[in-house]
């Protein structure tokens, strides 16, 4: 990606002292920061629609087990990598553009005893710092929306996968009903939002060398989940621990726009399994 776009995206996601803010919110929510479980972190650490439920569905579709070495592209604060390590015993390497996220991910993983199975590196998804054929599974959830050079993104994912390896995607795509309403969790303006339609994603994957094994439209489930979340926020306000810690003061506006984007079919969601 261009340096300017990278810097804008990093600014969108960066929050100073994010790890400390999460620990303080955990304490405010009644959790002991020195005795944390993955479940304690669930409200904040899987920053995608439907959270852990969507992660587990994708993991089962991808056939994860303890023999798999996984690359989590766009690993955020590490919730997905910790979930996969804990539930399936696989080794996971996370890579994220935002330094703060990598630091918070490593800290939280250490606090719940998963450091032996997970590691994090700062880096660009379109120039992955890994050797060819390094991973059994390349995994990504709600990341490609911020990446304009999608041919290079999927080419890099294909490169680092072992022959016969699996690409597991859970992503937001452009819907049929018109432009996205901003701000949304992945972008405050259209300048850093790069959605493609489902047919475009299919073509991009095939051109990168992948064979699509399974494609599931999960928009209905996403809509139900997000309507419930937005309504809860509207009625009760923001809880101590939640995605707003990552996004800041305009998260409520983002949540309400995301609800409308889903309800008005401005966005759709897909779970995709592809093979190298």
The average pLDDT across 109-121 equals 96
The sheet that has 69-73: what strands, in order across it?
118-122, 91-96, 69-73, 135-141, 161-174, 267-275, 211-217
- CATH 3.40.50.150 for domain 3-275, yes or no, is yes
Q: What is the pLDDT of residue 117?
A: 97
Residue 196: is its pLDDT beyond 90? Answer: yes
The answer to whether the pTM exceeds 0.85 is yes
Residue 60: is its pLDDT beyond 80? Answer: yes
Hey, where are the domains in the chain?
3-275
The average pLDDT across 230-250 equals 71
Cβ atoms of 210 and 271 within 8 Å: the answer is: no
- In the chain, the percentage of residues whose pLDDT exceeds 70 is 90
pLDDT tens digits, one per residue of 7-52? 655 555 556 688 888 888 888 888 898 898 888 887 777 778 898 9
Cβ atoms of 171 and 150 within 8 Å: the answer is: no
Nearest CA among 177, 165, 181 for reference residue 230: 181
Most confident by average pLDDT, 41-45, 226-230, 262-266: 262-266
What's the CA gap between 112 and 132, in Å, rounded?
A: 31
- Burial class of residue 42 in the structure, from the number of CB atoms within 10 Å of its CB (0-12 exposed, 13-18 middle, 19+ buried): middle
- Higher local confidence (pLDDT), 245 or 171: 171
* Least confident piece of the model among 26-40, 85-99, 203-217, 227-241: 227-241
Distance, CA of 104 to chain centre: 15
Cβ atoms of 182 and 193 within 8 Å: the answer is: yes
């Amino acid at each position: 990606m261009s340096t300017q776009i990278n810097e804008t995206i990093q600014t969108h996601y960066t929050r100073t002292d994010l790890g400390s803010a999460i620990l303080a919110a955990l304490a405010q929510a009644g959790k002991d920061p020195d005795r944390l479980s993955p479940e304690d972190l669930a409200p904040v650490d899987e920053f995608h629609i439907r959270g852990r439920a969507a992660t587990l569905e994708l993991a089962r579709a991808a056939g994860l087990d303890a023999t798999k070495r996984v690359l989590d592209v766009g690993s955020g604060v590490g919730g997905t990598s910790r979930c996969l390590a804990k539930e399936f015993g696989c080794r996971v390497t996370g890579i994220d553009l935002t330094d703060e996220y990598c630091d918070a991910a490593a800290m939280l993983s250490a606090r719940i005893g998963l450091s032996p199975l997970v590691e994090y590196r700062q880096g660009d998804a379109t120039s992955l710092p890994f050797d060819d054929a390094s991973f059994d599974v390349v995994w990504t959830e709600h990341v490609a929306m911020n990446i304009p050079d999608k041919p290079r993104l999927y080419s890099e994912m294909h490169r680092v996968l072992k022959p016969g390896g699996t690409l597991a995607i859970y992503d937001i795509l452009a819907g049929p009903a018109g432009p996205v309403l901003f701000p949304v969790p992945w972008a405050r303006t259209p300048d850093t939002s790069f959605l493609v339609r489902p047919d475009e994603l299919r073509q991009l994957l095939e051109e990168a060398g992948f064979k699509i094994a399974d494609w599931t439209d999960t928009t209905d489930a996403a809509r139900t989940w997000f309507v419930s979340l937005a309504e809860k926020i509207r009625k009760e306000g923001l809880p101590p621990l939640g995605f707003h810690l990552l996004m800041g003061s305009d998260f409520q506006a983002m949540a309400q726009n995301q609800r409308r984007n889903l309800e008005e079919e401005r966005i759709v969601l897909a779970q995709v399994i592809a093979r190298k």
